[in-house]
Structure 1
Amino acid sequence: MSLMDRLFNALDGAYPNRWRAAFPDQHAIDHWQDEWAQAFEDEGLTPRDVGVGRKACRRLYDWPPSIAEFLRACRPASTNTPEALFYRAQTEMQRRRDGLPDNWPSWALFWAAASLGNDLLYGTFKGMEARWCVAMEANQHRTDAPEEAPKQIAVARISPAEAADRLREIGGKVKAIGAPASGIKLDWARSIAEKTARGHYGNAYGQRMAAEAFVNLRQPVPPALVPFLPARALVAANDHGEEAA
């Protein structure tokens, strides 16, 4: 059996009925093997590291581990190294996004994580080490807690007709992004930027739309939205900044 086959079976045995339930068919298992094997290669894990992680999961997690949790279990180093703090930040930010209680060692770590947006959640330490270290250094003196987001969001039930009206209204706002600058306000985009800076906005598509709205209207892009600009828009934003200077 391959290393990945043995690992899959080991996790299935450690978390009966919970691990395998996440894989409805062989295609899903193959996809898991590809993604985790690539992560192991990116992080430079050895078979011994994977064995350490497999054993550590038994005492660390009562639930099937995510890739970030498993990688952390493979190398139980000091909790204060940049790598350990990176994966701790990933875990806490994901719990925050899921509406679960989070437990940050410091608010400086929270703000470092928030400054990287969705890149933190989907990145690896090896790929983001330089950016992560810069983010930690830039936020090392922050002690202010973020504003608490509402614990629950009431979901209003609306009729199909009302839903259609709202969709038309939203569609009009989306189309307005590419319209001439005269008469157009960026209040909605500024609101998204402010919420992103506070760590309370988790819709990457909305953040990208807001960032591109500033570029299209030849306005400076707020720092919190810069990570959500695609490459072409980032070039345009830099060009606008040089013109303004």
Structure 2
Amino acid sequence: MAETTLTVAPNAWTKRTGTEKIIPIKTLWGRLDGIFPGLWRTRFPDELAIENWCREWAEGLYEEAVTFAMVKTGLEALRRRQGPDQYPPSLPEFIALCKAIPDFEEAFYEAQKQSSNREYGEDSWSHPAVYWAALDFGVYELRQTTWKASKTRWVRILSNRLSGPCSPIPKLLPKPVYKRGDPATAQAAMEQIKSMPWFRVAGAVGGA
């Protein structure tokens, strides 16, 4: 993709970012060109057409609070459904793919399971919103309740998370290693455990 003036309103999708100072919306154009080789590029007869696309999509993604992480989800969905009958998505179609998430009940059971798996570093989440909704709900309480008892509250909490940008799921700290009989090292390891978000949430609920 050649360099364009890109005279669009500044937002997260049009500002240069990262050490390489890339423009995210231009990078997205290139990714779609890679997923739909030939088919995508032929839709743009000149640089003005590319700039018009960048303007509309940058504004649309920004207004719909679509994050970079959510776009990754959308691109992965496009790759999975590739076939001879597949065509590049419209902006509304792509936004829907970016925000795709299991139904609320399935997400509830996912949160219960993955919050337990996270203690062992084996968690796998379908969407950052499910992870953050689990924290908002309360991890300890989430594990003790049922879908029937908490449906209304869970739907409200997850909907709130889906309505705005979600931060990436934080990486777990490495498990502390200490030698038996070394109180100072053991104490430092315990403080590290207490600083973890899951420990703090569970402790707050347990002490309530």
TM-score by length of 1: 0.31
Q: Which structure has greater helix proportion? A: 1
Q: Under a length normalisation based on structure 2, what TM-score does the superposition of the two structures give?
A: 0.36
